[in-house]
């Protein structure tokens, strides 16, 4: 159940309301969570070299579509730093190599904690998130996969789709779990293709779909409209 309360006439403190709800939930063996709309969530955007999802999220935030704060951009490459500068968002470069994975992981967790991040958005971040980060932020890391999961997992899904001669391509936003590309799905969308489209066409069409599904997933999280039950999500419109 998802309930929206009007607290304009609240006669107790928010802390007391939260405490009373927790006590009631314990008495009935229920799981509850209460969020107040004025408490803006803090987002960290993680990117590599692809910029379309990053631009889309930053513009939507600039236009006021997200009632949240983009606190930082983190990347394993320096290529997109100018975008962060243009949008006046702090940029942090954390290179990831075979020899630096452990130190990069520690640096990432330090930054996330320091900036009190509520949601991590992988806006085409092309590195595998380590288990320590996933455990520290359960159901608080959203990824966009450039494929219609559960089909075409892993690398180059559009190339896989082209080889199979599919008539629909898609993109998927999902929570990140330890098992790659298998987390609870939040949003999906498709685009129709035919035999005349080449791989480059599929890539171009896919970019639009990726932006849409990622933005919708982020908005749903910000508005507290996602619940996770077992391996599924319940998303309230």
Tens digit of each residue's pLDDT, the chain (237 residues): 888 888 888 899 989 999 999 999 999 999 888 998 889 999 999 999 999 999 999 999 999 999 999 999 999 999 999 999 999 999 999 999 989 999 999 999 999 999 999 999 999 999 999 999 999 999 999 999 988 877 777 778 878 888 888 888 889 999 999 998 899 999 999 989 888 888 898 889 889 999 999 999 999 999 999 999 888 999 998
The rounded distance, in Å, linking the Cα atoms of 124 and 203 is 13
**C-alpha angle 73/76/82, rounded to 5°?**
50
Rg (CA), the chain: 19
The rounded distance, in Å, linking the Cα atoms of 189 and 170 is 5
Q: Where are the domains of the chain?
A: 1-39, 40-235
Instruction: Write the CATH number of the domain with boundaries 40-235.
Output: 3.40.50.170
Angle, in degrees to the nearest 10, between helices 157-164 and 199-222:
130
**Token pair for residue 29?**
């063996």
Q: Which are the catalytic amino acids?
A: 181
């Amino acid at each position: 159940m998802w309930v929206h309360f009007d607290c304009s006439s609240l006669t107790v403190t928010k802390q007391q309301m939260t405490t009373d709800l927790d006590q009631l939930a314990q008495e009935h063996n229920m799981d509850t969570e209460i969020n107040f709309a004025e408490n803006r969530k803090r987002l960290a955007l993680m990117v590599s070299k692809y910029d379309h999802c990053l631009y889309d999220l930053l513009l939507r935030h600039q236009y006021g579509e997200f009632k949240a704060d983009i606190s930082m951009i983190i990347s394993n490459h320096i290529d997109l730093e100018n975008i962060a500068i243009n949008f006046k968002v702090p940029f942090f470069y954390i290179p990831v190599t075979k020899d630096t994975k452990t130190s990069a992981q520690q640096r990432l967790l330090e930054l996330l904690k320091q900036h009190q991040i509520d949601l991590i958005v992988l806006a085409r971040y092309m590195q595998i998130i380590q288990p320590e980060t996933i455990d520290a932020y359960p159901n608080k890391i959203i990824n966009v996969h450039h494929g219609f999961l559960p089909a075409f997992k892993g690398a180059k899904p559009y190339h896989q789709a082209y080889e199979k001669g599919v008539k629909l391509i898609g993109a998927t936003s999902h929570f990140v779990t330890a098992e790659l590309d298998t987390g609870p799905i939040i949003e999906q969308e498709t685009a129709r293709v035919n035999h005349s489209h080449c791989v480059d066409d599929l890539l171009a069409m896919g970019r639009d779909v990726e932006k849409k599904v990622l933005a919708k997933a982020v908005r749903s999280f910000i508005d507290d409209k996602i619940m996770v039950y077992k391996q599924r999500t319940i998303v309230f419109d």
